[in-house]
Amino acid sequence: MLKKTVAKALSEQVTAEYYSAYLYLAMSAYADRAGFKGAANWLYVQAQEEMAHGTHILQHLLGRGAMPTFGEIKSPPSSFKSIREVFEKVLAHEQTVTGLIDKIASIALREGDHATYNFIMWYVNEQVEEEATASEILSKATLVGENTALLYSIDAELGTRVFTDPFAATTA
């Protein structure tokens, strides 16, 4: 059985992951309406990934005998100045999520919950990748500035992303 502090932190993370999905759906809709279909695809895939994360953490809670608590999911912003601003917000959001994940790792260690610590380390590593990817996209968007042809080249690259459930083998 999970200690209350660990269960609370994990439950809060489930809510945070579902908010992330909601945020990325709003960003995807913005990108779609702005004509950036590739970015819209990338952000939609990101939303799917965040939903998978939330569900995975929920399954960990249930598998450890905890009763999850569900927090309110606030409305995400839905208007942005540019596709560059979207990816600035993606990077800032991922940095926030990294802090939340690190907090869970610290709580699990403090509580001596090695199973949850081991579980959450996948997310610690995932966040390194998430931040690096967002930073790379933002760097490219910053580099090309307002050059429409180059922005659409980046957009085409973003359109190649496909969702792969990172937990498919573990949830079957």
pTM: 0.94
- Domain residues of the chain, as ranges? 4-70+79-163
CA distance 7 to 4: 5
H/E stretch holding 125 reads helix 114-144
Cα–Cα distance, 132 to 153 (Å, whole number): 20
| C-alpha of 104 from chain center | 16
Per-residue confidence (pLDDT) for residue 20, from 0 to 100: 98
Q: Which long-range contacts (CB under 8 A, 24 or more apart) does 94-101 make?
A: 94/127, 94/130, 94/131, 94/134, 95/131, 97/16, 97/20, 97/127, 97/130, 98/127, 98/130, 98/131, 100/12, 100/13, 100/16, 101/13, 101/127
What pLDDT was estimated at residue 97?
Answer: 98
CATH class of the domain comprising 4-70+79-163:
mainly alpha
Predicted local distance difference test score (pLDDT) of residue 170 = 65
- Tell me the mean pLDDT per 10 residues along the chain, length 172: 96 98 98 98 98 98 96 96 97 98 98 98 98 98 93 96 89 46
pLDDT score at 169: 76
- The reported pLDDT for the residue numbered 172 is 42
